[in-house]
């Protein structure tokens, strides 16, 4: 028990490294994670030891431990992919030339997305609202809304809801609602059909 508590304490005191990023007070970046040139929406979090580069992450999104999102791209269309031939600071200090690399694309993670531990998301990928990415997955292409993907490379396993419910949730945009309305809706959060009825009633539809 003592060993476990000491281990947790050591993990907590590592602190996250956040650079040129916007993280709301309601969101959280756990210890040991690096977040660079990225944005988080409200009530989103990433777990321990994540690496997030040039990503825009929506609200209510949950990112487990050891997830990698984005990252620098090596120019594989050149004769060599080695950083000794392009500009910028790298692990290897020697520079034979300093050509500018193509700019790394931004990665977009939607609202209410759940990304399992040890997943890797390629730079430039877009993951739709409500999608789920299984643990250990390698995502190399866009993931549509409300779909569950897993594997290496990741592929569609199933959809979270039927098309009618998915469309209704998407159109409701509940993640953008004021907190007082979310508090009212929270009582029915386990029932997709019922929560849409509550949302429609609140908005007078």
Residue closest to 23 by CA, chosen among 37, 12, 13: 37
Beta strands in the chain (DSSP E): 17-19, 28-29, 34-36, 39-40, 45-46, 51-53, 55-57, 62-63, 68-69, 107-109, 114-115, 120-121, 126-127, 132-133, 138-139, 147-151, 154-159
Residues 45-56: tens digit of each pLDDT: 999 999 999 999
Active site members: 74
CA distance 170 to 156: 19
Length of the chain measured in residues: 205
Residues 60-85: tens digit of each pLDDT: 999 999 999 998 888 889 999 999 99
* pTM (predicted TM-score): 0.87
Domains annotated for the chain, with CATH where assigned, are 7-160 (2.160.10.10), 161-205 (no CATH)
Asked if the model's pLDDT at residue 24 lies above 70, the reply is yes
CA distance 66 to 49: 5
Count the neighbouring beta carbons within 10 Å of the beta carbon of residue 13. 9
Q: How confident is the model at residue 205 (pLDDT cuts 50, 70, 90)?
A: very low
Asked if the model's pLDDT at residue 101 lies above 90, the reply is no
Q: How high is the pLDDT of residue 14?
A: 66
Percent of the chain with pLDDT over 70: 88
Percent of the chain with pLDDT over 90: 65
């Amino acid at each position: 028990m003592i060993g476990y508590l000491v281990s947790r304490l050591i993990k907590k005191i590592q602190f996250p490294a956040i650079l040129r990023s916007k993280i709301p007070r309601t969101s959280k970046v756990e210890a040991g994670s690096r977040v660079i040139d990225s944005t988080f929406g409200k009530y989103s979090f990433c777990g321990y030891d994540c690496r997030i580069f040039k990503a825009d992450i929506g609200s209510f999104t949950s990112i487990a431990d050891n997830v990698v999102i984005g990252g620098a791209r090596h120019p594989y269309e050149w004769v060599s992919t080695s950083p000794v031939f392009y500009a910028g600071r790298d692990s290897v200090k020697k520079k034979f030339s300093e050509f500018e690399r193509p700019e790394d694309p931004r990665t977009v993670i939607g609202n209410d997305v759940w990304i399992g531990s040890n997943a890797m998301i390629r730079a430039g990928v877009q993951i739709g609202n409500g999608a789920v990415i299984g643990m250990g997955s390698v995502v190399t292409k866009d993931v549509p809304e409300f779909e569950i993907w897993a594997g290496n490379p990741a592929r569609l396993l199933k959809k979270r809801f039927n098309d009618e419910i998915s469309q209704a949730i998407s159109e409701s945009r509940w993640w953008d609602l004021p907190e007082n309305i979310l508090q009212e809706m929270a009582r029915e959060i386990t029932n997709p059909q019922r929560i849409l009825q509550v949302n429609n009633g609140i908005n007078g539809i």
